[in-house]
Amino acid sequence: MRHILHIDASYSSESSVSRVLSQEFITAWKRFHPEDVILYRDLGHFPVPYINETWIAAVHSPPESHTLEMIEALRVSNPLLEEFLAVDCYVFGVPMYGFTIPATLKAYLEHLIRVGRTYEVSENGVRGLVHGKKALFITSRGGNYPPDSPFGEDHQEPYLRTIFGSFGIWDVQFVNVSNLVLGDREQSISLAQATLQNLAAHW
């Protein structure tokens, strides 16, 4: 039995392609793996607080020295971290906003950047501490963004690969639903749906 953390980051509801497809994947996953446990977090509609100076001081000081303000800063943050570390797999529905990820998802990921928990730093550089897990990112984009695209650059997938790699999670897969505005929207969605149905059985 595996524990899967399913996270949506879109600000939209039924009109969100990433949200609809991530739910379709989870529904298909349950058919193939009924014993697995799904945890769900909706960052688009229920965002986590941004970290601040107090939070930074708290995570870089011993618990016995924490002030009431530091304790409060970690009250939401620590459960997010423990939840992230406790599961086996991650499924993210992530729209592209301004060529990158939504601010709500960035805010969430900042809570997870914890020295000694998700990464460590030595003379050899940064080494991730979270191992044996994998992540699926279902992204939605208005266009297609190869390196020479005249419409802008993709700062979504490279960032997510980098931050999860810094945690030690290199087994990541992307299903990018592109050209939703600048191309054949229905074809893009249909191709993604077929890919996700196959992944639900074999991922």
Residues 13-39: tens digit of each pLDDT: 989 999 999 999 999 999 999 999 999
Per DSSP, the residues of the chain read --EEEEEE--S-STT-HHHHHHHHHHHHHHHH-TTSEEEEEETTTSPPPPP-HHHHHHHTS-GGG--HHHHHHHHHHHHHHHHHHH-SEEEEEEE-BTTB--HHHHHHHHHH--BTTTEEEETTEEEE---S-EEEEEEE-SS---TT-TT----SHHHHHHHHHHHT--EEEEEEE--TTTS-HHHHHHHHHHHHHHHHHH-
pLDDT tens digits, residue range 52-62? 999 999 999 99
What pLDDT score was predicted for residue 145?
81
Rounded Cα gap, residues 103 and 198, in angstroms: 30
pLDDT tens digits, residue range 82-134? 999 999 999 999 999 999 999 999 999 999 999 999 999 988 888 999 999 99
Going along the chain from its start, the domains and CATH numbers come out as: 3-202 (3.40.50.360)
